[in-house]
Amino acid sequence: MYPRWLWSGFSLPGVVWLILLFLVPFYAVIGVAFGSVDPLLQTPVPAWNPATWNTGWITQVLQEMAPGGVYWDPVRRTIYYVAISLGLCLLIGYPVAYYIARHAGRTKTLLLVLLIIPFWISYLMRMLAWVNLLEPTGYATRFLDFTGVSDLAVRSGLLLNPQSWLGGASITVVLALVYGYIPYLILPLYAALDRIDRSHLEAARDLGASPFRTFLHVTLPLSKTGILGGCVLIALPMFGDYYTPDVISGAPSTTMIGNQIDLYFHGGPQPTKGAAITVVLSLFLLIVMGYYMWTIHRATREASRA
Amino acid sequence: MTTSAASARTTQEFTLWQRIWGWITNPWGKPRFLPVITWLYMAWAIVPVLIAIQFSFNATRSRTNWAGFSTRWYWGDPNDSVWHDPALRHALQQSLKLAVLDMVFAVPIGVLLAIGLARWRGRGSGASNFLMLFPLVTPEIVSGVALFLVFTHIYTVITTSTFAQVLGHVTFTISYVVVIVRGRLFSIGWQYEEAAADLGAGPFTALRLVLFPLLVPAIIASAAIAFAISIDDFVISQYLSCGAQCDTVPIIIYSSTRAAPLPSTNAIASIMVAFTLLAVVLGYVFFRIFTRGEVREGGISGDMSRFEI
Amino acid sequence: MAHPKDRPTGWASNRREFLERSGGAALALSGAAGLLSACSNSTTTATSTNASGQKLGPGGYPLARPNQPVTLKRWEDPIDSNLPPETGGTFTIYNYPNYLDKGVMKSFGEKYGVEVQLTSFQDINSGIARLANGGVHPDVMENTPDNMARCVAAKLIKPLNLDYIPNLKKNLWPSLWSPYYDQESRYSVPYTTYATGILWRNDKVSEDIASMPQPLDIFWQAEAYKGKVALLSEPRETIAMALLRKGVPTGSNMSTLDLINTEDPDLINQAVADLKQLDSICHIKVGDTQFQTIPEGTTYLNQAWSGDWLAAYIFYLPKNTPASVMSYWKAPTGHVPVQNDCWSICSTTTKPVLSHLWLNYINDNGVARKNFLDFNGYQPPLEELDPSTLISDGTFPENARTAILTKDDFGQGHIEECTLTTTGQQLWQNGYSDFLAG
């Protein structure tokens, strides 16, 4: 009943917008990364024509990112932080999402409201709250000291002394990343778990599986795409995070690769280097995103065949 | 005698700790550690913010030592309070302005795109879908740098300015709107419009009278999300800022942590929280008005579960 | 109904197709790589030299040094004298945050009937970059001597008509009427003076830093204060400190001035390697908030500017902390980097006369004193401000003495961080990036 051009017509404004303001800016980054710098103004001079590209910056950046180079430490550290934060987010977030989706009963609406409250609070404000709490005389520092958590952290080498949570500790940065990004994981996880048809679970019960085995063999596999989607949703932006280490730590020993990009773009004679690092980072993310899209594409095609 | 002895062991004879432990380890009930984790998580997520709000009412300059209640950082202090410091006031206005403009532009484009992408089966639909998803996962520094460079080298007529900030925000909000509306669209399916067609409605009438009203809850939810994303945005706002005129609240918070934080920063952040909560409450009120009389499967939680990438 | 075993259609329905297609893409890319290798491949710019072999900085001006002054050419005529000031609208000052008293800005606005607003930058280089990109349109801007030639060559600042700025010669030190970086004050007037040294809490740090043979060594011996030590987040200041600590290499006839303005990659790399040791020694942090963290006790040992002691005393010392716990040390003249900041008028100004009047206003004795004593703690180079009286009349306590600058600190043989060539700037930035990478 609908004309065939209607749906592509509807998509047109959005697609045009995204091309003009998403794809074209990426090309601007590429143009700058392969361009040069005005020596006087120290502003980048982009090279739009691929034939005129200056590959010096990209090759320098790639060399520096290899082990032993200047950027190797931030790159390695970023990968560690993202991997550990992702793991912690899943460890904490999955049970929460599972509880709300499956067992919450009457408190479900309340819990959902509480769940989305962090979305409404500025990320930086949540970090600011932690900066205040983790100062040497802050409430959290005193609480953690009182409960012995600080002692544990000091003894396992993660912390210098019970008051130095803000003294350039990697553990604080990881926990801040977890705190900041976990709401964005729980919501898609909740959505995925809520969508699981109860009849599957009932069937498993009918066939004699215990609750734990039902979870392991039915719920977990069915929520795989949700887990993957949530992980992609938080891991990729985390790779470019720079303000979290800045705000919560401020030490060179906890900087991430985003801090290097920020350094070159905030003045100085080499903004092209910042653009080159951005290009390399984007390429990496493009590959990960491509893999994710292919997985989802395959899963939805198979599911829609049913 | 044995039965009365057995029934003499009532709950009064267990201590409080024994009862709690029994509740947790009850093998016949639902797994107890789950609600414990959930409520602990909720506390961990929200309490720090409450404490930050508390310190915005601190009587001294300290953000860690409570010295008594005072509203000096809101309107009392003649130089540094939110009311008197033009930089803070302006940042508040700018944040709200960007958020409203973001909503106004992103929601229509996003809704159309959502409907289009969900139903378009032709060539280019896959690529468009991929294009739409990418902004969701792009790190902010990449998008900030990209937009900064495009506005300083390609679209130079719009240099870094409030207009540029709006364009930047909308670009990244569209994807969220699409994802939310599309979820709702999938659960509606074709059935209502087909019924309308059977009853003689033309295509645009069906869209106007059947599809859009059904989408309204998702549209409201996405408008609220658009507002929240814009309020929260830091990197894009900073890279596209034109100076004092364009600074938003997150920029003020960030530079205060690099310079000299005062409780007025907590105050302005608390005001932002109040505004967003107000927006959410208003959104919920509109939502209830528009879905009056509807019986929807799962209620609100059913709608939340439509969120899928 | 389709059978579950039917192959789905799409871009790549199985792993083999995926590999084929991406393999094809990779092949295409490598072909492109071959094409790209034909492109240029350079990240350095050649440094030009003038007839006498002196290296030229940005804009073709020789590199300004205290013993090699530079006169900047006027790229346009200054405005005429005796014009009335513009009123109404906004007047934008481009400066660091927290470097200018809000009361001073407000009273200027009231005096001339404009609304004064402050646009801030995180550091001078990003400030100039934003100005050059056209991202901001301020009226006046706070500037530093090492960027003066570049701003003039890029026409970012306007030449001055000193008839509007009598306070320059009336109130300020004669040695700054025609400074080495801007002879005849064609483009700038001075703002504040400061030195770079060490600020610490003497109740937490047990070493007597001032009597050490090389006090800068304290950072490399600060294991006891892990997590409480910080350096300035400035490329020049951090690397210069590491260079000054080791001093001029033995056997070299380089002056200390040349040392902190060196473009020798070996010296810079060695300094960066020294700085990187601090990560493991004391978990070094970088930041510019020492004027708050030292009095509040969140850091114990900081590289700091002299004004930070005074600002901490004036504004940030908590009520129950006595001023005697803060100590400041700076090296003797010739080994301590000193500097004076400046004000310039931006080319984007729409109120040139008012901008000149601001440059005059900020150097008025009363206004400059108020800005200094009521707010930022950085000394203006006022003739009438006798530093010794600041202690004798009780404005500052005795242990502020080391943080107060005198004319001698800017006397013969003083060293400053001056302009570098573009190659030199790249070296320093790359070095700092290496330090920041941890």
Domain count, chain C: 2
| Residue C432 and residue C388 share a domain | no
Q: Which domain holds residue A230?
A: 71-305
CA distance C266 to chain B (A): 32
| Residue A16 and residue A89 share a domain | no
Q: Is residue A60 part of a domain?
A: no
Q: Is residue B71 part of a domain?
A: no
A149 or C50: which leads in pLDDT: A149
- Tell me, what CATH number does A122's domain have? 1.10.3720.10
Rounded-to-integer distance, Cα B117 and Cα B57, Å? 48
| Residue C240 and residue C371 share a domain | no
- With an 8 Å Cβ cutoff, are A251 and C429 in contact? no
| Residue C184 and residue C230 share a domain | no
Average pLDDT over residues C79-104: 88
Q: Is residue A300 part of a domain?
A: yes
Q: What residues in chain B have per-residue pLDDT under 70?
A: 1-12, 24-31, 259-260, 291, 293-309
CA distance C365 to chain A (A): 34
- Residue C127's pLDDT is 86
Q: Is residue C24 part of a domain?
A: no
Render pLDDT for B153-190 as a digit per residue (tens, 0 to 9). Answer: 888 888 788 999 999 999 999 999 998 888 888 878 78
Which conformational region is residue C231 in: left (phi greater than 0), alpha (psi within -120 to 50 degrees), or beta? beta
| Residue C306 and residue C220 share a domain | yes
Helical H segments across C283-393, by residue range: 290-296, 306-311, 352-361, 365-371, 387-392
* C10: confidence class by pLDDT, cuts 50, 70, 90: very low
Angle at A24 between CA B138 and CA A75, to 5 degrees: 35
Q: Of A185-199, B89-103, C270-284, C336-350, which gets the smallest average pLDDT? A: A185-199
The one-letter code for the residue type at C148 is M
Q: Does C134 touch chain B (CB under 8 A)?
A: yes
Domain count, chain B: 1
**C-alpha pair distances (Å), C111 with each of B79, C83, C240:** 19, 17, 42
A114 CB neighbours in chain B (<8 A) are 42, 45-46
Q: Is the pLDDT of residue C197 over 90?
A: yes
- Residue A160's pLDDT is 78
Q: Is residue B203 part of a domain?
A: yes
- Tell me, what CATH number does C173's domain have? 3.40.190.10
DSSP conformation letters of B23-88: HHT-TTSS-THHHHHHHHHHHHHHHHHHHHHHHTTBSSS-SSS---B--IIIIISTTTSTTT-HHH
- Residue C109's pLDDT is 92
- Round the CA-based radius of gyration of chain A to a whole number and report it: 24
- Residue B293's pLDDT is 61
Rounded-to-integer distance, Cα C245 and Cα B36, Å? 56
| Residue A293 and residue A151 share a domain | yes
Q: To which H or E segment does residue C140 belong?
A: strand C140-143
Closest partner residue to B142 (CB to CB) among A12, A122, A278 is A278
Q: Is the pLDDT of residue C2 over 50?
A: no
| Residue C290 and residue C379 share a domain | no
Cβ atoms A283, A263 nearer than 8 A: no
Q: Is the pLDDT of residue C148 over 60?
A: yes
- Residue C430's pLDDT is 92
A302 CB neighbours in chain C (<8 A) are 4, 8
| Residue C205 and residue C124 share a domain | no
Nearest CA in chain B to C11: B126
| Residue A128 and residue A35 share a domain | no
- Tell me, what CATH number does B141's domain have? 1.10.3720.10
B60 CB neighbours in chain C (<8 A) are 319
Q: Is the pLDDT of residue C100 over 80?
A: yes
Nearest CA in chain A to B303: A191
Rounded-to-integer distance, Cα B223 and Cα B220, Å? 5
CA distance B259 to chain C (A): 5
SS (H, E, C) C207-234: CCHHHCCCHHHHHHHCHHHCCCEEECCC
| Residue A39 and residue A116 share a domain | no
Q: Of B256-270, C184-198, C235-249, which gets the smallest average pLDDT? A: B256-270
| Residue C293 and residue C176 share a domain | no
* C302: confidence class by pLDDT, cuts 50, 70, 90: very high
Token pair in block for residue A153: 């952290």
Average pLDDT, chain C: 85
Q: Using alpha carbons, select from B231, B222, B247, B237 the residue that is nearest to residue B140.
A: B237
Report yes or no for ipTM above 0.90: no
- With an 8 Å Cβ cutoff, are C98 and B244 in contact? no
Q: What residues in chain A have per-residue pLDDT under 70?
A: 104, 303-306
Domain count, chain A: 2
Q: Is residue B16 part of a domain?
A: no
- Residue B70's pLDDT is 84
- With an 8 Å Cβ cutoff, are C97 and B259 in contact? yes
Q: Which domain holds residue B182?
A: 87-308
| Residue A130 and residue A42 share a domain | no
- Residue C25's pLDDT is 46
| Residue C178 and residue C215 share a domain | no
C-contacting residues in A 38-57 (Cβ below 8 Å):
39-43, 50-57
Q: Is residue C77 part of a domain?
A: yes
Rounded-to-integer distance, Cα A210 and Cα A212, Å? 5
Q: Which domain holds residue C211?
A: 198-336+417-437
A161 CB neighbours in chain C (<8 A) are 226-227
Q: Is residue C22 part of a domain?
A: no
Q: Is residue A66 part of a domain?
A: no
Q: Of C32-36, C106-110, C237-241, which gets the smallest average pLDDT? A: C32-36
Q: What is the pTM of this model?
A: 0.85
| Residue C401 and residue C351 share a domain | yes
Cβ atoms A255, A240 nearer than 8 A: no
Average pLDDT over residues C353-382: 91
| Residue A97 and residue A34 share a domain | no
Q: Is the pLDDT of residue C3 over 50?
A: no
- Residue C16's pLDDT is 54
Give partners of B (≥3 CB pairs < 8 A). A, C
DSSP state of A131: H
Rounded-to-integer distance, Cα C149 and Cα C344, Å? 12
Q: Is residue B13 part of a domain?
A: no
